[in-house]
Chains A and B, each alone.
Chain A
Amino acid sequence: MKNLGKKLLSLTKKGNAIPNTNRGEKPILPAVLKALEKAPTHVVDGVTNVFSQVTDYLQTAEVETTKRTEIAAKRDVAIEALQNQRTAFELLMKLTFQERAAVIQKQFDVLDRAMASGDVSTVKSALDGMVAVIQSSPFKSIQEMQMAMGSKDFVVRLE
């Protein structure tokens, strides 16, 4: 009986495993222990087992709740990172394609003017420029960004 009392008290002191349901009121545990002093052995054993299961459950619940909180935190960080990367990638691609489209449009304007005036050398320049734009991969800007971000010497100059 004393052993049981010690065990329960140590549990309540250690990790607050048993919740104090009547907080602010008279503690329930000493009253239970006192009542059990006169109880038969098999009743004490039964109560001990129940308390043991309750404390085990409460400990497990605490541990599992902590694990779930940790999992949720890691998941949120990972999802946030993925979403941010997607947003950055989509923005970079959008701006890259817009820039390329503007360059190509200018080259077509130059090409049309040169064709109208019969300026063969300007036609050649415009066509060469267009081929260069098409041959260059728009994904290269991703590479450049990755390299710039990965370099410790990367500096953003604001002028």
Chain B
Amino acid sequence: MAGGTAILGGVIAGPALAIIGYSAASKSEKALTEAFEMESEIREAIEQVENGNALLVSIRERSEEMRAVISDLRARYLSVLSNAEKMVSIKLAQKGEAEAAWNQAGMITKALRKVKGAKFQDPLDFTSFSQSEKDLYSLLNLFGVALYRMIKVKILDEDGLVTTESEGSVAEARLLLKGSNSQ
């Protein structure tokens, strides 16, 4: 009796379980496909992030390039500046001496200066500079202007975004790295 019940139960339960099993398997197949799709999207996103990193690395290289050039130029500028400061300090000393001599001149000398219309020759007057002194002054100017122009070049603005000057170029780079989705 019990055996018969078990067999009958098995006959009924077997197909039911098989149906449930196959139904679950069908749902699993669909779920597996969804998971597969999600995984693909994530892997593509990872590649896009890697491409973003490549772009950031090149922006960092650009910054490093600018830093190195400005730093090397600054070292030369400081050398020129040091020479210019020495020149100016010598000129200042000369000016002090010349002013003292000018002021300490006797009455006759002062009268003769007035008659001749002579004026005090300021050693700091550029026109009185020798050619090498003028060149030194020019060098100082050239370095100053060059450094100023270089420092003015911006890669990123205050908000950390790429400047409008570089924006177009970087946008192109980003487009290139964006991947097949944009193509």
Residue of A nearest to B62 (CB): A138
Given the known inter-chain contacts A50-B15, A101-B65, A127-B146, please indicate yes or no for A142 contacting B169, CB distance below 8 A: yes
Q: Indicate whether A17 reaches chain B with its CB closer than 8 angstroms.
A: no
- Chain A binding surface SS class: helix
In chain B, positions 144-183 with a C-beta closer than 8 Å to chain A are: 145-146, 149-150, 153, 165-166, 168-170, 172-173, 175-177, 179-181, 183
Contact status B173-A79, CB under 8 Å: no
Contact status B69-A68, CB under 8 Å: no
Instruction: A7 to B142: give the CA distance in the assembly, Å.
Output: 93
- Chain B binding surface SS class: helix
Instruction: A61 to B153: give the CA distance in the assembly, Å.
Output: 60
Contact flags B111-133 to A (C-beta < 8 A → 1, else 0): 00000000000000000000010
Q: Indicate whether B97 reaches chain A with its CB closer than 8 angstroms.
A: no
Of B44-52, B87-95, B102-110, the one touching chain A: B44-52
Residue of A nearest to B183 (CB): A81
Given the known inter-chain contacts A50-B18, A140-B169, please indicate yes or no for A123 contacting B139, CB distance below 8 A: yes
Which size class do A's interface residues fall under?
A: 35 or more
Contact status B172-A146, CB under 8 Å: yes
Contact status A47-B15, CB under 8 Å: yes
In chain B, positions 1-20 with a C-beta closer than 8 Å to chain A are: 11-12, 15, 18-19
Given the known inter-chain contacts A97-B65, A115-B76, please indicate yes or no for A82 contacting B30, CB distance below 8 A: no
Given A78-B180, A111-B76, A145-B176, 20 more pairs with CB closer than 8 A: A50-B18, A57-B25, A64-B33, A72-B36, A78-B44, A81-B179, A82-B44, A82-B51, A86-B47, A89-B54, A97-B65, A101-B65, A104-B69, A112-B76, A120-B135, A127-B145, A137-B165, A138-B62, A142-B169, A142-B176
